[in-house]
Structure 1
Amino acid sequence: MPVTALVSAKSCGVTASALALTLASKRPSLLAECDPAGGTLRAGFLNADATAGFGLYHLAAAQRTGPEALSNAFVNHLWPLDEAGHRKLLPGLTDPAQAAALERTWPRLSDVLHVLADQAGYDVFIDAGRLALNAGHLHAQLTPAPLLHQADLVLLVVRGNEQSLALARHVIEPLRTELRERGSGPDALGLLLIEDGPYRTHQVSDALKTPVLGALPWDTATAQYFTTGGRPPRGHARSPLLRHARTAAEQIEAAVSRRRIQQEYPARPANPQLAGVLQRLAEQRRGNRG
C-alpha cells in the first residue's frame, strides 16, 4: 500500500486533507503528523484527549537506543481514530523546538512506515507541513526530508486560486529537483487540489506543469471540525470532504500502482533506426494524402 506525504508552500489545509484521506481509506490507515512546526490534531480533533506523553517526540529517545526500541515506541505511541482501531494517528510535536532532536529519527521512522504499508497493508499518510528550503534543498531541520525522499508519492497541496498557485510556483521546481537528486524520482511529485477558487483541475495542472492526482471540495464545516475539534457537524461521515477523499485515496493508490509498473518495466530506449523508419512512413502517408 502507498506511503503518501502531503506538503504545502504555505498553510493550505494539509492537516485536514491528510486526516480526511486517513479516515476515508477503505483499508487500515495511519496518519503520521510529522510537521516540524508542531502538530495541531492533539489539541484540535482529539480535543486534548491525547496528552504530551503520546506522540512523535518520544521516538527520538527510542531511536537512540536502537531500531527495535524505535519500533516498539512507534506502536506504543499510536492513538486510535475510530472505535475499531482501524485508523490510527501518530500525534505530532507539542513544541517546534523538539524538531531538532528528530533529524536522525526521520530515516528510521520512514523505514517503519514503509514496513507498515508493505507488510501490514496500511495506507500511510504523512503530514509533512510547510516546505522549508535552504540553498535550493529541503531544510534538514525544518522539513522531514527523508520522509519525502522515500515516499511513494509527494503531494503538494494547493488551492484553486491565484495566490496559492503563485506560492506553489516558487517551491515546485526545487521540490522536483530534490526528488530527482535525493528521492525516488521527480515523477513522485503530484498535486492535491483544494477546490477553493476559480481554477479547475486541468488549469492547475497546466499552470504548475504537474499532474493533479486528487481533488477535495472546499467543505468548511468538516475541515474546521478536523482542525479545531469540538462537536462534529451533523452527518460529517457523509460530508462532501470525506466522500471525495475516498475517491482521492483510490486515485492515489492507482497513481502509485502505475508508477511501480513503470519502474519495474521501464520504457525501451529509443532506437534511431526505428525512429527513421517511422519518420519515412509518416512522410509517405502525407505524400499519399497530397
Structure 2
Amino acid sequence: MTTTGLAFTLTWSRPVVLAECDPAGGDIGAGYLRHLELDGGHGLIQLVVAELRGQASEQFWSHLVDLDPPGARRLLLPGIATSAQAASLDPTWHSLAGFFSSLEHGNPGFDVIVDCGRLVTPYAPWPLLGRADLVLLVVKPTLASLLPARAVVQTLLSSAGPADDGRIGLVVVGDGDYDDRAVARHLGVPVIAHLPHDDRSARVLAHGGTARTRRPLLRAATAAEGKVMRSINGRRERLRGPGIWEAVHADV
C-alpha cells in the first residue's frame, strides 16, 4: 500500500501531498527517505499537536518533506513512528479530513494522497475515507488477498450514501489467479489501475535509491493518473446534479 501511494506521488503531474496516516506507523522515513535521517521534527503527530492548538493551517507546510527537491511539488507528511501513538490521532481524524480537503483550493492547489494502511487495525482513519473523492483498495489477484478484501469493500459500501456511487475502486498489483474483470466481479467494485510486479522498483521505494520513471511500476503509475482523475471528475459531475451542491476533495 505504501509502495503504491509513493509510486503515484512520484509520478503525479499536479502538486501533491502524500500523507502517511497508517495507524500502524509510517514506513517512508525509515525506508525510501532513510538517507535523510529525519529527526522526528516533521510529520503527522506534530501536525496533530498543532491542530489541537488551532495552528494546523499555519504550521502544516513546515511538517512536510520534499520528495523531489527543490521543486516542492511532491511533498510527504511523514506518519507516526509507532502504533502506540495511534490513539492520539483518533480524535483529530475529522478535522484533518477537512483540512486535507481544503488544500486543493490553495495557491497553488495540492491534491492529497492518503496512505491509510490496513483498515482492520484499531484507530483506522475512517473519517478520511468518508471525505475522499476516491478510495482505492490495493489488492493482489489471488484468493488469499481477495477474501479479506471483500469484507473491507462491504464495510466501505455499507457506510456509503447514494451520492457515493463510484467512489470506491481497486488497484490490482501483480499477476495471480484472476484477471482484472474477475477481481472486479468478485469484489463488486471497478478496477481503476493495475500495477505490474516490479521487484527492482519496489525495493527502491521500500529501502531507498533512485526511482526510475521508465521502470514498469512507475510507468504504470503514470498511466493510472488519467484513470484516477476521470473517476474523480466523473463523480464530481454526478454530484452537481439536482439537490447536491457540495463536493469534497481528499484523494486516498
What TM-score results when the alignment is normalised by the length of structure 2?
0.89
1:265 lines up with 2:246 in the alignment: no
| Distance (Å, rounded) in 2 between the aligned partners of 1:127 and 1:170 | 19
What are the within-5 Å matches in structure 2 for residues 209-248 of structure 1? Answer: 209-229=188-208, 231-232=209-210, 236-248=212-224
1:90 equivalent among 74, 77, 82: 77
- Does structure 1 retain, via aligned residues, the 8 Å contact 2:165–2:235? no
Runs of 5+ consecutive residues of structure 1 not aligned to the other structure: 1-13, 134-140, 268-290
**Offset of residue 227 of structure 1:** 1.4
| Distance (Å, rounded) in 2 between the aligned partners of 1:63 and 1:121 | 20
SS in 2 for 1:130: coil
Query: What is the root-mean-square deviation in Å for CA atoms of aligned residues?
Result: 1.9
The match for 1:106 is 93
- Does structure 2 retain, via aligned residues, the 8 Å contact 1:36–1:96? yes
| Distance (Å, rounded) in 2 between the aligned partners of 1:194 and 1:40 | 19
Runs of 5+ consecutive residues of structure 2 not aligned to the other structure: 244-252
What are the within-5 Å matches in structure 2 for residues 59-98 of structure 1? Answer: 59-66=47-54, 69-83=55-69, 84-98=71-85
- Does structure 2 retain, via aligned residues, the 8 Å contact 1:176–1:186? no
**Offset of residue 263 of structure 1:** 1.4
2:66 is matched by which residue type in structure 1?
Answer: P
What are the within-5 Å matches in structure 2 for residues 96-175 of structure 1? Answer: 96-119=83-106, 120-132=108-120, 141-175=122-156
2:40 is matched by which residue type in structure 1?
Answer: A
**Offset of residue 123 of structure 1:** 2.4
**Offset of residue 185 of structure 1:** 2.3
The higher radius of gyration belongs to 1
| Distance (Å, rounded) in 2 between the aligned partners of 1:180 and 1:223 | 36
Cα distance change, pair 177–118 in 1 and its aligned pair in 2 (3 A): farther
- Does structure 1 retain, via aligned residues, the 8 Å contact 2:43–2:79? yes
1:86 is matched by which residue type in structure 2?
Answer: R
User: Greater strand percent: which structure?
Assistant: 1
Q: Which whole-Å deviations, capped at 9, do the CAs of 1:157-214 have from their partners, x for residues lacking one?
A: 1111121111212221112112339xx6253111111123132211111111110111
What TM-score results when the alignment is normalised by the length of structure 1?
0.78
1:40 lines up with 2:27 in the alignment: yes
Q: Which runs of 4+ in 1 moved over 6 A?
A: none
| Distance (Å, rounded) in 2 between the aligned partners of 1:93 and 1:191 | 26
The match for 2:226 is 250
